[in-house]
Chain A
Amino acid sequence: MTEEIKADVLLVDDEEQFLKVLSQRMEGRGLKVDTSTSGEEALEKVKGKDFDAIVLDLAMPGMSGIETLKRIRSEHPDLQIIMLTGHGSVEKGVEAIKAGAVDFLEKPADMNKIMEKISEAKRKRVLLVEKKREAQVKEILQSKGW
Chain B
Amino acid sequence: MSEHNEQQEEKNNKTRIYKFLRVLFHPRDFLGILSEDRYKSLKIRIVLLDAVLSLLPLFIVVTISYFWFQQILKDDFKNQLKWELENTKQSIEFFLEERLSILRFITSTYTYEQLSDQRTLFDIFTKFKREFPGLADIGVIDANGIQRTYSGPYRLAGADYSNQTWFNEIVVRSSNLSDVFMGFRKIPHFAIAVKREVPDKGTFWILRATIDMKILQKYASAVNIREDDDVFIINREGVLQTPSRFHGNVLEQYKENFSFREDNISIKEAGQSEGTCDICGYAPIKNSPWVLVAVIRSSPYAKIPNIFRNELLFITIISIFFSIAVTIALVQTVVNRIKKADQAREVAIAETEHASKMASIGRLAAGVAHEINNPLAIINEKAGLMKDILEGSRDLQQKREKFLSLIGGIFDSVNRCRTVTHRLLGFSRRMDISHDTIDINDALNEVIGFLEKEIIYRNIRLDLDLRKDIPKVVTDKGQVQQVFLNIINNAIDAVQEKGLIKISSYSKDEHFVRVSIKDNGSGIPRDKLKHIFEPFYTTKGKGTGLGLSISYGIVQRLGGSIHVESEINKGTNFFVDIPIRSETV
Contact = CB atoms under 8 A, between A and B. Distances in A.
Interface stretch (B372-380, B515-523, B528-536, B571-579): B372-380
Interface of B: 366, 369-374, 376-382, 384-385, 388, 391-392, 406, 409, 412-413, 453, 456-457, 459
Given A86-B373, A107-B374, A28 B381 contact: no
B378 A59 contact: no
B381 A61 contact: no
Interface stretch (A16-24, A96-104, A135-143): A16-24
B385 A87 contact: no
A18 B388 contact: no
A43 B456 CA distance: 21
B457 A64 contact: yes
A106 B369 CA distance: 11
Contacts of A62: 459
Contacts of A21: 378, 381-382, 384-385, 406, 409
A107 B376 contact: yes
29 contacts: A1-B391, A15-B377, A17-B378, A17-B413, A21-B378, A21-B382, A21-B385, A21-B406, A21-B409, A22-B381, A25-B381, A25-B384, A28-B388, A59-B457, A62-B459, A64-B457, A86-B369, A86-B373, A86-B374, A86-B377, A87-B373, A88-B369, A88-B373, A107-B373, A107-B374, A107-B376, A107-B377, A108-B377, A108-B381
Ranked nearest first, the 4 interchain pairs of A and B with the lowest CB-CB distance are A86-B373, A108-B380, A107-B377, A21-B381
A21 B387 CA distance: 12
A104 B174 CA distance: 138
Nearest to B391: A1
A15 B370 CA distance: 12
Given A18-B374, A18-B378, A25-B384, 15 more contacts: A15-B377, A18-B377, A21-B384, A24-B385, A28-B388, A61-B457, A87-B369, A87-B370, A88-B373, A106-B373, A107-B373, A107-B374, A108-B373, A108-B379, A109-B380
Question: Which of B372, B380, B413: most chain A CB closer than 10 A?
Answer: B380
Question: Which of A17, A21, A25, A59: most chain B CB closer than 10 A?
Answer: A21
A111 B384 contact: yes
Interface string A95-125: 0000000000011110100000000000000
B376 A108 contact: yes
B385 A59 contact: no
B409 A17 contact: yes
A106 B377 CA distance: 9
B385 A61 contact: no
Nearest to B456: A61
A87 B371 CA distance: 9
Interface string A78-102: 0000000011110000000000000
Nearest to A110: B380
Contacts of B382: 21
B407 to A, nearest CB: 12
Question: Which of A28, A60, A89: most chain B CB closer than 10 A?
Answer: A28
Interface in A22-81: 22, 24-25, 28-29, 59-62, 64
A86 B371 CA distance: 8
Nearest to B374: A86
A18 B139 CA distance: 158
Contacts of B392: 28
Question: Which of B366, B370, B376: most chain A CB closer than 10 A?
Answer: B370
Nearest to B388: A28
Given A59-B457, A86-B373, A25 B380 contact: no
Contacts of A107: 373-374, 376-377
A95 to B, nearest CB: 15
A15 B453 contact: no
A108 B417 CA distance: 13
